[in-house]
């Protein structure tokens, strides 16, 4: 589980992180973020949206706190 912002504050939720990798003429680039699927109910293992989960954008921060590009 990870701390997740819910209406009452922070609460533990199960998540699944999906990173994205782009390929093209300039090679391969790992995007500095991705899609996080999150269980909306405490204790639920279901993270897909068709069965009651939700999604959140996620960003990977560099050591100085800035988003990596």
Does any domain span residue 44?
A: yes
Is 64 part of any domain? Answer: no
Q: Which domain holds residue 49?
A: 2-59
Give Dmax over CA atoms of the chain in angstroms.
Answer: 47
Distance CA 52, CA 31 (A): 27
Q: What is this structure's pTM?
A: 0.63
Q: What is the pLDDT of residues 48-63, one digit of tens each?
A: 777 777 888 888 777 7
Residue 69 domain flag: no
Total domains, the chain: 1
| pLDDT at residue 61, rounded to an integer | 76
Quick check: is 66 in a domain?
no
**Does residue 65 sit within a domain?**
no
């Amino acid at each position: 589980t990870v701390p997740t912002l819910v209406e009452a504050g922070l609460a533990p939720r199960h998540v699944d992180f999906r990173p994205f990798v782009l390929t093209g003429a300039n090679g391969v680039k790992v995007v500095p973020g991705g899609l996080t699927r999150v269980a909306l109910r405490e204790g639920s293992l279901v993270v897909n949206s068709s069965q009651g989960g939700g999604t959140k954008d996620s960003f990977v921060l560099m050591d100085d706190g800035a988003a990596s590009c």
